[in-house]
């Protein structure tokens, strides 16, 4: 074992070496440290998201850190928060292809336009990355079940990974969610609650249902590890582009976990010396659907607008609250 890796014997299996550089969790508002050895939600000091930090001072080369034989997001194992490999809950998520889109790029006179095809993840979306990580950590730190409010994809991913881990899953989703999402959750064995409303109404139901804290609430940015799964998109982009980054990155943002995670990966790679010191980080663009654009509306000061013909189910009422969690909504 390389001296710079953390040997962690605090958990169940003292004979298993772990190869993570995980250091601790920090409050994203004030930096106050929180233990990475127990289940955590938001910070005690500010009720803000906790962020995992890693010991990146000692040199860690790309060659030593990346397991090329692993065709999933777990190839960046040293920079992920899992302590013991035995707790890994994986369905082969990540390391999705980066596809050239020459026709569409040409239409906009772009020299190069690439698509990271996250639809190829298990359960069909990049929610698989975050939930694989969150459920692995839930298992590692002793949770027996998890609960989530969702617009669809995150619920399916939670149900699948909890099924894989043998944990209980409770999913709250709007009643108008397309049938395929509801059925996938049922078939993975989750307890599904349909809510007459939007995702913020689902979040309110989750808070009430889990008032006793028996289940781990894996709502967006309420626990620290979905972010760590999503950040692997940033590592993959750099690796797939031979450690160059694109000029502009367009991201379909809901709660924004992926956008924040990708940026976190860029900063970590800078600290590790994996990017050229003068490398310019991409301009990050959060894209939202015209039918649901609270971030855009707030940023531009314009009203959120009306749902459009995109909606194929009975149009829900306009959002009356932020669909993303309060800690980030005001920032």
User: Which residues contribute to the site for ligand PLP (CB under 6 A)?
Assistant: 125, 127, 151, 153, 220, 252-258
Q: Please give the distance of CA 108 from its chain centroid, rounded to a whole number.
A: 30
Buried (b) or exposed (e) across 72-110, using 16+ Cβ within 10 A? bbbbbbbbbbbbbeebbbbbebbbbeeeeeeeeeeeeee
Half-sphere CA count of 307, side-chain side, radius 13 A: 11
- CB under 5 to 8 A by kind: which of ligand PLP, Zn ion, none does 288 bind? none
Distances (CA, A) of 118 to 10, 159, 258, 261, 283: 35, 18, 12, 15, 20
- CB under 5 to 8 A by kind: which of ligand PLP, Zn ion, none does 136 bind? none
How far is 281 from 278, CA to CA, in rounded Å?
9
Considering the complex, what minimum distance in angstroms separates the CB of residue 166 from ligand PLP?
A: 25
Indicate the residue among 127 and 168 with the shorter CB distance to ligand PLP: 127
Indicate the residue among 23 and 164 with the shorter CB distance to Zn ion: 23
Indicate the residue among 274 and 328 with the shorter CB distance to ligand PLP: 328
Considering the complex, what minimum distance in angstroms separates the CB of residue 29 from Zn ion?
A: 4
- CB under 5 to 8 A by kind: which of ligand PLP, Zn ion, none does 252 bind? ligand PLP
Binding residues for Zn ion, rule: CB under 5 A, are 27, 29-30, 32, 43, 45-46
Considering the complex, what minimum distance in angstroms separates the CB of residue 255 from ligand PLP?
A: 4
Indicate the residue among 29 and 201 with the shorter CB distance to Zn ion: 29
- CB under 5 to 8 A by kind: which of ligand PLP, Zn ion, none does 14 bind? none
Does residue 249 contact residue 285 with C-beta atoms inside 8 Å? Answer: yes
Site of tokens 């626990």: 223
Indicate the residue among 50 and 159 with the shorter CB distance to Zn ion: 50
Distances (CA, A) of 149 to 155, 208, 301: 7, 12, 27
């Amino acid at each position: 074992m390389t001296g710079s890796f953390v040997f962690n014997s605090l958990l169940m299996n003292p004979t298993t070496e772990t190869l993570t550089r995980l250091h601790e969790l920090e409050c994203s508002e004030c930096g106050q440290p929180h233990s990475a050895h127990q289940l955590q939600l938001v910070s005690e000091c500010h009720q803000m998201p906790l962020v995992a930090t890693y010991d990146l001072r000692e040199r860690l080369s790309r060659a030593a850190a990346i397991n090329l034989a692993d065709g999933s997001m777990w190839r960046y194992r040293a920079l992920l928060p899992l302590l013991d490999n035995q707790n890994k809950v994986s369905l082969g998520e990540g390391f999705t292809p980066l596809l050239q889109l020459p026709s569409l790029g040409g239409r906009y006179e772009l020299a190069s336009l690439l698509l990271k095809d996250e639809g190829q993840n298990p359960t069909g979306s990049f929610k698989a990355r975050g939930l694989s990580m969150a459920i692995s950590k839930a298992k590692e730190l002793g949770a027996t079940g998890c609960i989530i409010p969702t617009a669809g994809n995150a619920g399916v991913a939670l149900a699948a990974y909890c099924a894989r881990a043998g944990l209980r899953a409770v999913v709250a989703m709007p009643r108008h969610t397309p049938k395929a999402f509801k059925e996938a959750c049922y078939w993975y064995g989750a307890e599904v609650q349909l809510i007459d409303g939007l995702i913020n109404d689902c979040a309110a139901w989750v808070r009430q249902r889990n008032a006793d804290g028996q289940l781990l609430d894996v709502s967006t940015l309420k626990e620290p590890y979905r972010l760590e799964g999503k950040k692997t998109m940033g590592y993959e982009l750099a690796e797939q582009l031979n450690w160059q980054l694109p000029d502009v990155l367009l991201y379909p943002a809901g709660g924004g976990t992926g956008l924040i995670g990708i940026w976190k990966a860029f900063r970590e790679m800078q600290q590790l010396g994996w990017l050229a010191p003068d490398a310019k980080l991409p301009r990050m663009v959060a894209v939202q659907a015209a039918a649901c654009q609270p971030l855009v509306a707030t940023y531009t000061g314009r009203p959120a607008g009306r749902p459009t013909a995109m909606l194929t189910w009975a149009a829900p009422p306009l959002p009356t609250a932020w669909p993303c969690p309060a800690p980030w909504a005001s920032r």
